Amino acid sequence: MPDSPAVLEEWVTALAEALGIEDTDVPTDLLLGLTREVAHGVVRPAGPLATYLVGIAVTAGMPVEDAVARTRAAIAGWQAQV
């Protein structure tokens, strides 16, 4: 399979269906960008874990944009400490 946005969207739809959730408005570019920022700004394995925590925050009612902004602030704070 080619590495393309169409394949990625198909995967998101298939996974959402497998998990029994709706795939409405998955902010793919925003989350992939954040994952990359965490991986490069903290440590590579922290990327997917941060995305998971953002998902928990969104499930708890926080807008995804706010969760991403707070994560970016946490990255900056982390980098200032190390």
Q: Which domain holds residue 41?
A: 27-81
pLDDT attached to residue 1: 60
| DSSP-assigned letters across all residues of 23-74 | -TT--HHHHHHHHHHHHHHT-TTHHHHHHHHHHHHHHTT--HHHHHHHHHHH
pLDDT at 2 over 90: no
Domain count, the chain: 1
Count of all residues that appear for the chain in the document: 82
Within a domain: 3: no
pTM of the model: 0.87
- pLDDT tens for 20-69 read 998 778 999 999 999 999 999 999 999 999 999 999 999 999 999 999 99
Within a domain: 14: no
Within a domain: 42: yes
42 token code pair: 């903290």
